[in-house]
């Protein structure tokens, strides 16, 4: 946090018993109290940051798959990370923007014009979105994908199913420590449109950069219900990839955690001084 860095640099590098920030100065009786104030301020900041959790706004799709919020493998991962899942009305800009990251399952999720506008605004502002779909050879899967990828000129292709393991490509953070991913292979991105960053050479997993945000495409809903990937059936690499997805969504910039204000920082320091004085007495 840059406020913390500026406060510490202005107090420790000067030979005075005070914390300064800009034109503001908080004086202490001696350097021992100054040190205790700084320690308490840092402890308070750590507590503030550690208490933050990401709200995953989700919209589920076609039945028959273990959707988010209904005991899927990813529910367990988000719970372990302290993140909450909230069924989100994509017709409401406030609901969409209130989420830290978004999760959309394909199938029946054909977005209308209002929902499309809200999703695109979320992405443009720096949000991260997971879109997990399946076979796009027709029906609701194809219409769902068209209503989402079509927002930024992207599209997918039908690849069929073979239940195989595919090597990862590139250096994206999502594939850090992941040598391969197992897919049931039904749909992949069209790599010639909208410049996706491929995570596997076959395009079953790819990231689109949209405005300041990103959308992760996975063309296999078996990754949602865990029969291939997220529960580790496909191997340790799949578990690593699933955990990378959770961390990636947590880092979404759509709803950044605000830094504590300078007055709040000073208040924490003063509380530390009062506590130290009380203990001495």
The tens place of each residue's pLDDT in the chain, 281 residues long, gives 333 344 444 444 444 555 554 555 555 555 565 566 555 555 554 444 444 689 999 998 765 455 787 778 888 899 999 999 999 999 999 999 999 999 998 877 899 999 999 999 999 999 999 999 887 777 788 899 999 999 999 999 988 777 888 999 999 999 999 999 988 878 899 999 999 999 999 999 999 999 999 999 999 888 876 666 677 777 889 989 999 999 999 998 755 444 444 555 555 555 555 555 555 55
DSSP state of 258: P
The domains of the chain, with CATH numbers, are 71-250 (3.40.50.880)
How much is the pLDDT for 8? 40
How much is the pLDDT for 62? 63
Map 162-190 to HEC letters: CCEEEEECCCCHHHCCCCEEEECCCEEEC
How many CB atoms are located within 10 Å of the residue 45 CB? Answer: 18
Tokens 């007055």 map to which residue? 263
How much is the pLDDT for 31? 59
Judged on CB neighbours under 10 Å (0-12, 13-18, 19+), 121 is middle
Percent helix / strand / coil, the chain, rounded to 5: 40, 20, 40
Q: Rounded CA gap, 269 and 281, in Å?
A: 19
Say how far residue 60 (Cα) sits from the centre of its chain.
Answer: 18
Residue 58 near residue 88 (C-beta atoms within 8 A): yes
**Interstrand relation of 187-189 and 55-59 (parallel, antiparallel or unpaired):** unpaired
């Amino acid at each position: 946090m840059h406020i913390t860095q500026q406060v510490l640099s202005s107090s420790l590098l000067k030979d005075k018993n005070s914390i300064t920030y800009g034109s503001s100065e908080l004086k202490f009786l001696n350097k021992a109290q100054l040190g205790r104030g700084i320690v308490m301020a840092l402890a308070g900041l750590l507590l503030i940051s550690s208490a933050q959790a990401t709200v995953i706004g989700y919209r589920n799709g076609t039945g028959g798959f273990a959707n988010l919020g209904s005991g899927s493998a990813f529910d367990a991962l988000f719970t372990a990370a302290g993140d909450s899942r909230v069924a989100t009305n994509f017709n409401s800009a406030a609901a969409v923007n209130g989420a830290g990251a978004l999760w959309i399952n394909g199938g029946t999720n054909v977005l209308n014009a209002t929902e499309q506008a809200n999703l695109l605004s979320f992405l443009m502002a720096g949000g991260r979105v997971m879109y997990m779909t399946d076979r796009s050879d027709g029906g609701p899967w194809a219409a769902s994908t068209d209503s989402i990828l079509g927002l930024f000129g992207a599209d997918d292709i039908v690849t069929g199913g073979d239940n195989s393991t595919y090597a990862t490509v590139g250096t994206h953070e999502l594939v850090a420590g992941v040598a391969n991913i197992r897919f049931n292979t039904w749909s992949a991105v069209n790599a010639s449109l909208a410049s996706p960053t491929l995570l596997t050479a076959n395009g079953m997993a790819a990231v689109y950069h949209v405005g300041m945000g990103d959308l992760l495409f996975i063309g296999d809903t078996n990754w949602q219900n865990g029969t291939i990937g997220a529960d580790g059936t496909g191997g340790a690499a799949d578990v690593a990839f699933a955990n990378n997805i959770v961390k990636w969504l947590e880092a979404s910039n759509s709803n950044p955690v605000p830094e504590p204000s300078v007055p709040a920082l000073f208040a924490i320091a003063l509380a530390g001084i009062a506590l130290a004085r009380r203990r001495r007495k």
